[in-house]
Structure 1
Amino acid sequence: MDAHTPEPYKSPVPTGYFRWEPEEDEFLICRAVRDETHDVKTFVLAPRNERQFEFVSGQFMTFEFEIGGETIQRCYTISSPPSRRDTVSITVKRVPGGPVSNWLHDEFKPGMMVKATIPMGEFTWSGMQQSKYLFISGGSGITPMMAMTRSAYDLALISDIEFIHAARTPADIIFRDELDFMGRRNHWIKPTFICEQDAPFERWNGFRGRFDRQKLEVICPDYAERTVFVCGPAPFMKAVKTTLKDAGFDMSRFYQESFNFDSFTEEAQEQIAEATEAITTDVRVFQLEFTKTGRTVECPEGITVMEAARRAGIRVPSSCSKGLCGTCKSTITAGTVDMKHSGGIRQREIDRGMALLCCSKPTSDLVIDR
């Protein structure tokens, strides 16, 4: 090689693809914390070792936090797109009295670590062939739609996205600047915001009030031709669903996030009703002892531990009610269960006596460390 021949380019990063595996390294390290609004922050996370994430837009991860000597699991949707594989981001709103959200906002800093599971969930447009979408979100329910929109922007997808986001005031609009920027740079992305009232230092001149059919028809006249994704507080999602149903929308093209962090989903409530109807006097009844609360409740055969606890007034953290998220993970110190989970628990945790209460039916009397 003579003096005029340039050296071959050498990539500064490995050319092989290394997927993050929580079984090998269950900890993620915080790389950055970003303020989105006065009470919403984004936390950027990465593996400790050089690995990349594999997920689809709209999925969530379950995190395990050690706060005040207590282990708490929480699910958070990934707000970053899969086109940015080296990190994942979660965007968290501070909830008054919320132990995890307040700890994250006040204590969780770059360099600190947190346990996490692989991304999971089915609320995604991945694999769909439609070209026209309508995203409708309220409050922090914007995160899965943001992941999809960021993905469309990064990959220059020819996907017509009408994005309607509802917030209390303009100061509460999460990702406002970024959505406006993407809309200016890509005419396929069309964000519209609805605010209930003015902010202390900003008068809102856009759509005011709450989401309704009249606003929908003005913002997105061709909504009947689109595939709709909805996420937000339960009352908001119910209102949107009712609006679309009353308008004659084809609900086979309607998708909403099924997680409800405060109460059972409609599906879980139906399962409880069906199981209750099936109970007869011949069904065996097990005793469930909850050591931390000092309560003992009865659980008929065929009913999950979670259902029995809730019916007895014992509050157990839950999100999916499907054995998927891991939020209700608990240690069974005595007794056996029949557990049919969907990936929300590791085998080594099962070997240590842990179980997901939402999908575990007792096969004997139980003692539960909760």
Structure 2
Amino acid sequence: MNAHTSFPASEFVAPLRQRQWADASPQVMLCRRVIDETHNVKTFVFSAASDRMFCFNAGQYVLLRLSIDGLEVTRPYSVASPPTRPLDLQITVKRTPGGLVSNWLHDNLRSGDEIRIEGPLGSFKLDGFASAKLLFLAGGSGITPLMSMVRMLTDRAFDLDLRLIYSVRSPRDIIFRSELDALAARFPNLGVTFLCSKGGPSRTGPSGRIDGSMLLRLVPDLAKRAVYTCGPEPYMTALRDGFDEVGVKPLAYYEESFGGYPSGVAPDDFAISSFVHFAKSGLEHRCAPGETLLDAARKCGVYVPTACQQGVCGTCRIAKLSGEVAMCDLGGLTSEEKSAGYILACCSRAQGTVSVDL
């Protein structure tokens, strides 16, 4: 009599696939745990209320749909957990002074609460390797999608040469520090550098802001690496300027940024007389200085689907028929979509008279 009974793998795989959560429709999630990461950062751990597994690419984000004081709001947050751990989903949120959603999450969301989450979304993802040498560059909260990548790579023990340079204001602002230290000690092919713009009496290691000379000093083989980077726009601008400064191009370059107007664009650039014509609706609206096309559409009663309202997610993509706009997008459109004449209503402002396909 056989002591062991074998079962076809398909009997296990098929049910798991049926339970996967991989479409962009909103799902009810249950908050399982809240973790204090730093003095102003918390991680929220979710599981699917419908008992599904999470299927996404490391680097992608989700949309949180919330009702705060009667106001329906949506915000994008990168997934910090890796796809190799599909039973929960984690987002890591920094409290922003005056921030509606981040403050609400920190002050109100507790274990056992339900919340609607939509995703996964985003084209910033690690689903292949352009090189056996990788360089991750993170600024502040930009560590979150890169942490998903680091966790996935170490979970699967990939034989890659990986360097992570994490720029923060001070040592107390380093998110995931103990985990990153432990991973670097466990995996000799993972090098982690914390770059603090402000040091302290007990601070060891490099200090200062990221620039070209700092990059070359920390990563001499920069030209042989594929770069993945995420951070606020000033940080991203400093990185781009740094690469130009030293005249070094990495083998590949992928970025995700958030917050603020792009470099060189000022609010005064929008202070011109402008009109938007909604072609399908037959309506025309005179725009106030700085008013976005999304604002104009709402005032006219023209529906535009929207989510992040920061030029990131691409939900409010519309076709521009004529005219010029100043668009402050943060990666919500591909180069092909821009070439085809698409713009994002949430971060586009008419320059003169503009006609859109709405």
Q: Tell me the TM-score normalized by structure 1.
A: 0.72
1:160 maps to amino acid = D
Shift of 1:186: 0.7
User: 1:260 maps to which residue?
Assistant: 258
What amino acid sits opposite 2:222 in the alignment?
Y
Change (3 A) 1:226 1:278: farther
Question: In the alignment, what sits opposite 2:293?
Answer: 305
**Residue 318 (1) aligns with residue 309 (2):** yes
Which range is displaced more, 68-77 or 121-130?
A: 121-130
Instruction: Check conservation: 2:224, 2:250, Cα contact below 8 A.
Output: no
The 2-side partners of 1:148 and 1:279 are apart by: 42
Q: How many angstroms does 1:68 deviate by? A: 1.1
Q: State the Cα distance separating 1:308 from its structure 2 match.
A: 5.2
Identify, as 1 or 2, the structure richer in strand: 2
Is the 2:136–2:228 Cα contact (8 Å) retained in structure 1?
Answer: yes
Partners of 1:59 and 1:121 within 8 A in 2: yes
2:213 partner SS = helix
Residue aligning to 2:239: 240
SS at match of 1:32: strand
Q: Does 1:286 align with 2:312?
A: no
Deviations 1:329-364, CA, capped at 9 Å, x for gaps: xxxxxxxx9799xxx9xxxxxxxxxxx844997567
The SS at the match of 1:232 is: strand
Q: What is the letter of the counterpart of residue 164 of structure 1?
A: I
Shift of 1:321: 5.5
For the residues of structure 1 that align with 2:138 and 2:108, how far apart are their CA atoms? 28
- 1:61-95 CA-partner distances (Å, limit 9, x unpaired): 11111111111100000011110111111000000
Normalised by the length of structure 2, the TM-score is 0.74
- What aligned pairs does 1:331-346 form with structure 2 within 5 A after superposition? none
- Which residues of structure 2 form unaligned runs of 5+? 299-306, 322-331, 333-343, 349-354
SS at match of 1:205: coil
Q: Aligned partners of 2:174 and 2:61: how far apart in 1?
A: 21
Rounded to whole Å, the distance in 1 between the matches of 2:320 and 2:31 is 33
Tell me, yes or no, if the aligned pair for 2:233 and 2:259 is still in contact at 8 Å: no
Q: Please show how residues 1-370 of structure 1 align to structure 2 within 5 Å.
A: 16-17=15-16, 18-20=19-21, 26-198=27-199, 203-250=202-249, 253-257=252-256, 259-263=257-261, 286-288=283-285, 297=287, 305-306=293-294, 318-320=309-311, 323-324=314-315, 357-358=345-346
SS in 1 for 2:53: coil
Structure 1 residues 52 and 268: CA distance shift in structure 2, 3 A: farther
Q: Distance in 2 between matches of 1:228 and 1:91?
A: 22
Distance of 2:140 and 2:25 partners within structure 1: 35
CA contact (8 A) 1:195 1:204 kept: no
Distance 1:80 1:14 in 2: 24
Percent identical: 35
Instruction: Tell me the secondary structure at the aligned position of residue 236 of structure 1.
Output: helix
Amino acid at match of 2:258: N
Counterpart of 2:328 in structure 1 is: none
**Post-superposition CA distance 1:243-291 (Å, at most 9, x none):** 012212226622211x43444x57999xx99xx99999xxx98345xxx
Q: CA separation in 1, counterparts of 2:77 and 2:230?
A: 13
User: Which letter does structure 2 place at the counterpart of 1:71?
Assistant: E
Deviation at 1:214, TM superposition (A): 2.8
How many equivalent pairs are there? Answer: 310
